[in-house]
Amino acid sequence: MSVLPSTEVLLLGPGPSPVSPRVGAALGAPARSHLDPEFMAILDDARARLARVFRAPAGAIASAVSGTGTSGMETVVANLTETGMCVLVVVTGYFGERLAQMFERYGAAVERLRVQWGRAVDPAAVAYAMRDGQFDIVGWVHVETSTGVVNPLAEIAAIAHEHNALCVVDAVTSLGAMPFDAAASGIDAAYSCSQKGLGAPSGLAPVMFAPSALARRVRCRSFYFDLDLLESYWIGRKYHHTMSAPLLFALDAALCETEEEGLDARWQRHERHHLKFAAGLAARGWSLLPEPAARAWSLNAVRVPEGADEAAVRRRLLAEHRIEIGAGLGPLAGQIWRVGLMGAGSTEANVTAVLTALDEVTR
């Protein structure tokens, strides 16, 4: 048997984020089967809490798909896309491109609105791209994990709805950490993950379908991600797959913590610690990739200072300080570090710890 990890690592990368003692304890609760009455009661509780955390409109379906955030992406795409549909995808980084590719795999004709990595999309550019009104769906990433950029929600949704297009939003790095209000913003469908702003382990993907999306769902070509079949399990108690009890228990505990803290207070905590981290970088002569107005609070894309060995710094942070941060992706590889301050990891102590450790390994 391989040796299990025995030392703690402070997870300050793009995800997963640290879990609280309460969430960790939930993972070790006595096991239950996926159809056990106690399990189902917790499933119902988690569904109700997810609807509130998404701030979903009345009549929406919110639940959690077994899988990572990409499974949530595929669930939304698979149930809203059929061959021949026209889809506009805003690409401001790696995960916008992944969303575009997912739509293509389900037969859509995809037009990409490409934005320079490190910049947020201008809603006027979306309006111009949609001027002919031929799109069935508009998809975009709220917080682009590869660049630390936050894209607008309500402004793009309003433009899409003018053309009767559904809005699909990636909330993987924003749910539980950044202001996200599906009802107020007019979001038709969204997906996220358990291991970032919500502060649970990876392995479940929250999804939300508003009534507007439910009315336009299509025959799903995937069995595993078929919303009708999943709904029959989540609500109708009919077997579909064997959901992980420990992961559900942990997610429900994380959702309890989220609601007890209060969404507005939780968002303010993330903003406060992001600003403290950004100020600490500025005091050292370092900077973040996006302009201030486009910076996410949950994911900080730190420009690698001149003369620093990007990979060596990450290795030393892990080896000497037991702190994990992320590298850049795509065209930003070698140019940025991605520092996540999400969920239980968004604390003043963690901001101080990572800044102090960066000082030591970049001398």
| For residue 45, pLDDT beyond 80 | yes
226 has a pLDDT exceeding 90: yes
Q: Is the pLDDT confidence value at 278 over 80? A: yes
How many other β-carbons are positioned within 10 Å of the β-carbon of residue 311? 12
pLDDT at 152: 98
Predicted confidence band of residue 1 (pLDDT cuts 50, 70, 90): confident
- Extents of the domains making up the chain: 10-16+262-361, 21-260
What is the arithmetic mean of pLDDT over 198-202? Answer: 98
Nearest CA-CA partner of 94 in 153, 157, 170: 170
Q: Which helix (H) or strand (E) holds 71?
A: helix 69-80
Mean pLDDT of 217-238: 95
Q: Quote the CATH superfamily of domain 10-16+262-361.
A: Aspartate Aminotransferase, domain 1 (3.90.1150.10)
Average pLDDT score over residue span 303-320: 96
Q: 1-5, 16-20, 27-31, 194-198 — which is least confidently predicted?
A: 1-5
DSSP one-letter string for 17-32: PP--HHHHHHHTSPP-
For range 60-85, the mean pLDDT: 97
What CA–CA distance (Å, rounded) separates 221 from 204? 21
User: Are 90 and 141 a contacting pair, CB within 8 Å?
Assistant: yes
Q: What is the pLDDT of residues 116-166, one digit of tens each?
A: 999 999 999 999 999 987 999 999 999 999 999 999 999 999 999 999 999
Angle between helices 310-321 and 348-361 in degrees, nearest 10: 120
Mean pLDDT of 60-71: 97
**CATH number of the domain located at residue range(s) 21-260 in this protein:** 3.40.640.10
